[in-house]
Structure 1
Amino acid sequence: MKLKSLTISGFKSFADKTKIDFFEGITGIVGPNGSGKSNIIEALQWVLGEQSAKNLRGGKMNDVIFAGSQTRSPLNRAEVELVLDNSDRFLAIATDEVAITRRIYRNGDSEYLINHNRVRLRDISDLFIDTGLGKESFSIISQGKVEAIFNSKPLDRRMYIEEVAGVLKYKKEKQQAENKLVDTTAHLERLNDIVIELRRRRDPLEEQASIARDYLEQKRKFDYYKKSHLVLQIQAGMQRSQNIDHELTLCEQAVIKYAGQVEKLSNLLATTKEKQERLDEQIDQVQHQVQVYATQREYFAGQTQVIDQQAHYTAVRQEELAQQISANQATLVETKEHAQELDQQIIQWQKQLIAAENSKQEIANGVAEQDNVVAELKQQQAQQVKLLQQQAQLQSEKKYLTQEQTDSVQQHTKDRDEQVAVIGQLESLQHEAQLATHKIEELETAIAAGREQLEQLETVYQKQKLRVQNTTDQWQKGNQVLQRAQTHYDTLVNINAKYSGYYQGAREVLRNKNQLAGIIGSVAETIEVSQQYLTAISTALGSQAQNIIVTDEQAAQRGINYLRSKRLGRATFLPRTTVQPYQLSISQKQQIAQMPGLVGIASELVGYPKQDANIIQRLLGTTIIATTMEAATAIAQRLHYSRKIVTLAGDVISTGGSFTGGAYRKENNGVLGQSQEITALSQQIKDMQAKLAVIVQQKTEAQKQCQDVATQVTKVQTDLQELQQDEQEKRGQYAILAAKIVQIQEEVARVRARNATADDKERKIATQLGTIVKKLRQVEQALVVNEQAQKRLEKQITAHQVNKQATQVQKQQLNEKIVALTERIQALKVQQKEVVNQQERLQTVVVSDQAALKKIRAQKNVSSQQAQELKQKQIATEENYQQLQQKLKKLQAQRQNWRQKRDENERDYQQASERLNGAKLNRKDIDSQKQRTEEKLDTALQELQAKFSISYEQAARDNQEDNLEEVERQLRMLHRGLAELGTVNVHAIEEFKEVDKRYQFLLEQQDDLLAAKAQLENTMAEMDDEVTTRFADAFAAVQAKFTAIFPQIFGGGRAELILTDPEDMLHTGIDIMAQPPGKKFRQLSLLSGGERALVAITLLFAILQVKPVPFAILDEAEAALDDANIERYSRYLQKLDKDTQFIVITHRKGTMLQANVLYGVTMQESGVSQVVSLALGSLIPKAD
C-alpha cells in the first residue's frame, strides 16, 4: 500500500484547496518557520482520526478551520482527504484505491467518509488497527515522539513493542471482554438479587397456595354441609311454625278470659277509688283548716310573746324615765334656788354699788389734789385687775389641761393595753409562721431528696431503656445478618442442588446422575478444603473442579453418550479405574522442603475419599502452594519453572514460567467455594441464632429491670407530688400568716403611733401645765408686788395728805369697793346666765321625758287591751283547732277502711291484669317466635337460593344428611378449620404458578450467566496467553534488529533492549542500554542529548524493519542530531525507502539531499500557506 495524495481545504493556514501528490522514495517538505509545513502533518493526523485538539495545537476541534486573515474572511468548513493505493489489499477493503475523508464545520458537526461513503470514526480506527498506521502508530514520527522514547518510563515504552506485535486488537477485545465480564457479573448480581427477592415472594406464595388449596377443599365440604344444614333448618322451621300456630290459638282464648275478669275488677276498683277520693278531698279540706288554725295559733303565740316583751320593755323604760325626770326635777329645783340666791346677791351688791358710787361722787369733788397719787394707784389697781383676770384665765386653762391630761392618760393606758395584746398576737403569728417555715424547709429538703432520687432513678431508667434499645438494635442487626445469611444460604443450597455454577455438560450429568449408573459426583463435591486454602485450591483446579468422578470407563462412556444424544454440551469424566496419579519426585520435594513460604503440596492440603486418591493426586499432586508471590517465585526458580505454583491469594506461576495474577472486584472461588461457603454459612446461622437467643434473654432482663425502675419512678413521682402538694399547702398557710402578720404589724405600728402621739400630747400638756403654773406663779408674785405698791402708794398718800387722809381713804375704799362690787356683780351675772341656761336645758329634758313617759303609759294601756283581745282570739282558735283534729281523725279512720278495700281490689285487679298481660306477652312471644321462625325460614330459603342457586325442593331431594347435630358438628369443625386458616389469598395458586415459572426461568438465566462468566474468564485467559506469546516474539525481533542497526547508525558500539520483569510479559516494561563507540555500556538516560535522540531513532528504524509500514512521516525527527549523525541517519533512511514511503519535514541540508522530491511551503499571502514542488532544480507551482 502506498500514499498517493493528500488534499487539504480550509484546514488551518491552507485556506485554498491544496493537493499534494506523493511518490515512492523520500518526499521532503521544507519551508521557513511559521510557513505552515507542520500543518500538513497535522492534516494527516487529523484525517487518520486524531481527537485531541491539544495534539493539533488548538483549544477546541473547530480551531482547525481557517480563521481568516487581514485579507480573507474565516471559512465555515475544513476538509482533508487522504488517498491510498490499496491494490495489494493491505487494507481490508476490496478496492484498489481508498479515499479517507474528514470534514468539520464551524458549528461543531463532523463527517467521516471512506470512498465517499459516510462512516463512523470507529470504522476508520478499526480500518488501520494493527496496520502500523493510525493516529498512535509509527507512521508519524515527530521530534516529540523521539523525545518521548528516551524520556518515557520503561512501562510506557511497552506500547511500541505492542504496536509491532499487533496485540492492540487483542487488548481491545480483552477490554471488551472485561467490560462484558463486569456487565455479566453486575447482571448476575442483579439477577441474584431478583432471584432472592422472588424466592422471598415465592416461598410465602407456595405456602399460601397450599393453604388456598386446603381452604378450597374445606370450603367445598363446608358448602355441602351448609346446604344440608339449611335444608334441615327449613324442615325444622316448617314443623315449628305449625306448633306455634296451635300455641297461638290457645293463647288467644286465655286473653279473652282474663280480659273479662279485668274489666269487672276495674269497675269495682273505680267505685272504691271514687269513695276514697271524696274522703281524701274532705280530709284535705279539714287538714287545710287545721293548718290555718295551727298557723293562727303560732301567730297568736308569737304576738303574745311580742306584747309581753314590749310590756316588759315599756315598764323598764317607764321606770328609767321616772327616775330620770325625778333627778332632773330635783336638779331643776336646786338650780332655781341657786338662781334666786344669785338674784338676791346681785340686788344686794347692786345696792351697795349704787351707795358706793354716790359716796365716791361726793368725795370726788374734794380730792383733786390727790390725783397724781390716785392716778398711780389706779394704774396699780388696773394692773391688779388685769393680773386677776390673767390668774382666772390661767386657772381655767390649768383646769382644762388637767382634765385633758387625765383623759389622755386613760386613753394612753388603753392604747398600751391594746399594743400589748396586738404584740402578743403578732408574736403568736410569728411563732406559727416560724413553725410553717421550718415545715416548708423540711418539705423542701424531702422534695430535693425525692427529686435527686427521681433523677437517679430516671438516669437508671434511661440506662435500662438504652440497654433495651441497644439489645433491640443488636437483635435487629443480628436478625438482618441472619436473614441475609439465611437467604444467601438458601440461594447457595439451591444453586448447589441444581449445579447452577457448572458448565452445561457437567451440570446436566450431575443433575441426572441418579439416572446414569456410576456417576460419583464432581471433584468439587468430593474434596474438603479448609478456608485458608480455598482460594489457592480453587485457582489450582480451575475448571477441573467441575470434572466428574465416575466408577469406571463404562460410566464415563454412558455420560458422554447421554450428553451427545441430547446435545447438552461436553464434560470431563475421571474414572477411578483408569486415572493415574501425578506426584513430585523425591528430589524436588527435598529441594523445596526447607524453603520459606512453602505451604505444601496441593493434594496433601485437601481431604478426599481414599478411593479417589489417584484422581486427586492426578489433579493436584504436582501443584505447590506458597504463601506469597515472592515465595512462589523463589520456589519456581529452584525447580526451574518445571512445576505449577499457586499462592494463597490465587496468583499462579505456570509451568514454563508464565505468571498470572491480580484480583477481581468480587472474590469468586467457583463451584469449589460454594460447598465451603454453604458449610460456613450454616455454622454462621447457628452461631447467630445462639447469639440472638442470648440477646433476647438480655433484652427480656433489661425490659424487666426497666419496668421495675419505671414502677419505682412512678412511686417516687407520686410521693414527690404529695410532698409538693403539702409544700404548696404550707406555703399557702404561710402566705396567710404572712398577710396577717403584715396586718398586725401595721396595727402595731398604728397603736405605737397613737402611743407616740399620746406621749407627745402628754408631754405637750405637761409642758403647757408647767408653763401655766409658772405663769400663774408669776401672776401671783405680780399681785403681791402690786398689792405692796398699792400699800406703798397709800402710805405716801397718807403721809403727804394727812389732812385728806380720811377723804382719800374713804375715796379709795369706795373705788375699791365699786370695782370689787362691779366685778362681783359681773361674775354673779355670768354665773346667773349659766344657771338660767342649765335651768332651760333641764326644763326641756324634763318636758321631753314627761312626754315620753306619757306616751309609754298610753302604749302600755293599748298593749294591755291588745293582750286581752289576743288572749280571747287564742282561746277561740284553740277550741276550733281541737274540734277539727277530732273530725280529721274520724275521716282518716274512714279513709283507712276504704283504702284497705281499695288495696284488696287493686291486688285482685293486679293479679287479673298480670294474668292478662302474661297471656298477652305469651301471645306476643309466640307471635315473635312465629315471626322469627318465618324470618329464619325465609332467610334459610334465600340463603339456599343466593349461595347455592337451588330451590328447597331440589335441595331436599339431593340432601343425604338427616342428623342436624352431626351436620352442625361438621360445620363447626370446618368453620374452625377455615377460621384457623385466616384470610386466604385464593389467587395465590395462580400467582404461585406465575412466580414459580419466572423463578425457574431466572434460575436458568442464572446458570447461563454463570456459564457465560466462566467462558469470558477462559477467553480472557486465552487472550492473555496470545498477547504474551505475540509480545515475546515481537520483542525478540525488535531486539535483534535494534542490536544489528545500532552499530550501523553509530559506527560501532552495541545496544540492547531489557525487560524490567521478564516473568510477566503482560505488564513488563522496557529499558534501553547502549554503548556508543568509546563509551561505557549504560542506560539511555545517562547518554548525551544527541546520543539519546539517535538511539531513539535507531529503535524506530528497528521497529520499521520488523514491521514495515506503507508510509512514514518524519517531522523534524533528526533536529537534535549533528551533521555527522545526520549523514548516517539520511543514508540509512535511503535503505528503508524501498519498502516504505517517507515524507520528511526537515530543515537539515543532509536530509534534503536524500529526498527524491521536495515540496516547499510558503506564505506569499499573510496567513495563507501555499505549496510548491522542487524537482531537478526547477520550481513548479502546485495548482489544483
Structure 2
Amino acid sequence: MDDVIFAGSKTVMPVNKAMVKLTFLDETREDSAQIFTISRVIKRGQGTNEYFYNDQLVRYKDIRNLAIQAGISKSSLAIISQGTISEIAESSPEQRKQVIEEVAGTAKYKIDKTEALTKLDQTLIAIEKIEIRTKELEKQVKQLEKQAENAKIYLEKSKQLESVEVGLIVSDIKKYQTELDQVQEKLNDLKFQEPKFISEIEANEKIIITNTQKRSEIEAEINTKNREIHRLKEQINTLNLAYAKATQLQEMILSSEISVNFEQKMAALRQKYSLISAQKDNFAKLISQNKLKKLEIEEKLNTFRTQKGEIERNLYSLNSEKIISQTRISELKKSLESMSFLPKGTKIIIENSFLFPGYCGLVSDLIKIFPKYTGAIEAALGPTLKQIVVDQPETAVSAINFLKKNYAGSATFIPLSTLKPRFIPDLYLEHLNSQKGFINLASNLVDFEKKYKILADFLLGGIIVADTIDSANQIANFLNHKNMIVTLDGDVIRTSGIISGGHKIKNDSSFSIQYKIDELTNNLNFFEEKIQEFKVKSNEFEQLITRESVFLQQININLNDLEQKFSNSENELIEIKAQNEGLEESLNQKDDLNLSLNRTLKEKIELENVVLELENQCKILKTEKKQLDNQISELTVLVQELNQKQRKINADLNQNQNYKDKYEFLITNLRNNLSQKYSLTFESAAQKYELEIQEKDAREFVNSLNLEIKALGNVNLDAINDFEITSQRLEKLKKSQNELETARSKILEVISDLDKIIIGKTQEIVDLVNSEFNLVFQNMFGGEVQKFILVIKTIF
C-alpha cells in the first residue's frame, strides 16, 4: 500500500508514511474519555501497519474489540433499506445468522470463543505432551530412585568405612615404615660391608697370585742352589780324599800306630797344629762375616719395619677416608630418596604426582647442568631449581587445592602453556662475542629434552654467563645493565645493578646432591684401589721382614756354632801346645808337605764355606717357601671364607632388598589409596584419623564393608542429584499438568458462558426483529406474517 503514501512533488518533499486518524465522541460519558482517537499508520517499504489509541501504540486486536463493543460495523439496524430487507428475505439461514449476530453484537463473544477454543486446543496438545514426558520421567525417576538408594547406601557405608579404613591405612603405613626403616638400616650396613669383603677378597687374591709366583721363583732358585751345592760337594769330596790320604800318616804317627823319631812326631804335630790353626782362622773369618751380615740385616729390618709402619698408617688413613665417604654417600642417598632438601609442599606434590596428569617434574630434573657450569647455572636459577613444572595452569590450581585440603605446605608451579621465551637480540650477541670473558647464554650451557626448550629459554634465555666478576662487570656496563649476568663462580650482576658474590655455599638440589654422590663415589673407588695397592705392598714388606728375620735367626745360629767351633779349635791348639813342649819353637818351620796340605785345606774350607752359605740360603728359601705355602693356604681358606661371607651378604642383600621393595610397594599403594580414594596425604590423615579399635577387628570391619559395597555393584553417585533434579522436573510437569487441566476446565467454563451470552443476546434480537419485521412485511408487501426462529442447534 505504498501508493497511498505521498510520493512528493516539485515543491514538496516526499514523506515516508501515511496516517488516517479518526476522532470519536462518546456522549454516554461525561469524563475526559468522552472524546478519543483511533489512528492507523503505514510506513514506506515495510508493508506493516501501526495502530494508535489516543496516540498510544496498541494492537489491531485492541482496535477491533473496541469497534465491536461500540456496535460499529458496515451494517446496522439504524437504517434498513428496501434492498436490505429483500436481501434478508432471500438470504440463507447462515447469512441471516450473520446479520442477526452483527445486529446482536455477539461477534466479540464469537471471537472470544474462537480464541478460547484455540487456547483449548493448545492446552489439550500441551496436556498430551506433558503426559508423554511425565510417563518418561516417571520411568527415569523409578530407575534413579533405586540407583539413588544404592548411592546413599554406598555413601553411608563409605563414610563408615573411611573413619576406620583411613585409621587402619595410617596404622599400616606406620607399621610398614618402621619395618622399612629397619630393613633399610640392615641394607645400609650390608652395603657398607659388601665393598669391604670385595676389597679384602681382591687384595688377598692378588697376594695369593703374587705369592704363588714368588713360590715358583723360590723353588727354581732352591733347585739351582741345590745343583750348585751338589757340584761343590763333589769337589769337596775329591779334596777330602786327598786330604785324608795326606793326614792319614799324621794320625797314625800321632796315635803311635807307627814308630817314628822325635823329629817326625814333631813334624806331624806341627802339621796338625797348622791345620787346626787354619780352621780356627776360618772360623774367625766366618764369625766376622756373619756379624757384618747380622748388622746389615738388622738395618734392613729396621728400614722395612719403618716402611711397613708408614704403609699401615696410610692404610688406616685411607680406610678412615673410605668410611667417611661411604657414610656421606649413604646420607646423601637417603637425603635424595627422602627429598628432605625440598619444601614440604613440593615434596608432597612429587609423592602424589600420579594424581596430576599434567605433572612434568622439578626444574632441576628437567634441565641438566654440565659440571663445568654448575656454579653459574645454580646462581642464575636459585630457588627456581626446586619449582615444579606442569603443563597448564589448571594442573597447578588442582595441585594447590590438594595442598590446601591437606594442610601440606605450599609449592611454586611453572605452567609450560603460559611461558614465553626470553632472548637477547642477535645484534647484541654479535657485540657480546667480541667482549672479553663472555662465554655464552645460560640457555646454551644446559641440556634438556626438546619439549622443554621453552622452559630453558624462559628461565635462562636472557641470562649471560661470563668467566669472572671483572668480565661480568664490563659486560654489564656495555649492555647498560639490560640483562642479568652470572659468573662461573656463581657471582651475579642483576639488571638493577645489584651485585652479589663471594664464597658460595652450595644449596642442596637433586643435581648438586647427585653431583656430590658421583664425586664421593669416584673418591671411594680411588681409595679402594690405593687400599689394595698398599695391602699388597704391606704384604711384600711383611714377607721381606719375615725373610730377613729368618736370615737373622739363621745367622745367629751360625754365629753360635762358629763361635763354639772357634772356641774348640782354640782349646785344642792350647792343649797341643801344653802337651808337647818345644812345639811352639818349631811351629815356624815349614815343609813342602805342610804347604801342600794347607793349600788343600784352604781350598776345602773355602768350598765348604760356599756350601755352607748356599745351604743357609737354601734353608732361608725353604723357610720362606714354607711361609709362602702357609700364607697361600691360609689366604686361600680366608678367601673361601670371605667368599662364603660375601655370598651370605649378597643373599641377605637380596632378601632385604626384596623386603624393602615389598614394604615400599605396600606403602606406596597405601599412600596412593589415601590420595585417590580420600584425597588425603599420609601426614594429613595421621593428624585427623586414629585407629580406635583393635587392628584385627578393624580389618574384619573394613573387609566386611568392602564386601557389602562390592555387592552393591556399579554405583552411580550422580544418581542422587539426578534423582532430585528429575523428581523436581516431574513435580513441575505434574504441577503444570494440573494447571493445564485447571485451565482446560476454566476455558470450557468460559466457552459455556460465552455460548450462553451469545444465545441470550441473539434470542433478544430475534424477538425484537420478529416484532418489527412482521409490520414491515405487511406494510411493504402486504404479505403474510413473517418471523425468525432461533434454532440453537442449527446456528451453534
TM-score by length of 2: 0.38
Which one has the largest radius of gyration?
A: 1
Query: What's the TM-score once normalised by structure 1's chain length?
Result: 0.26
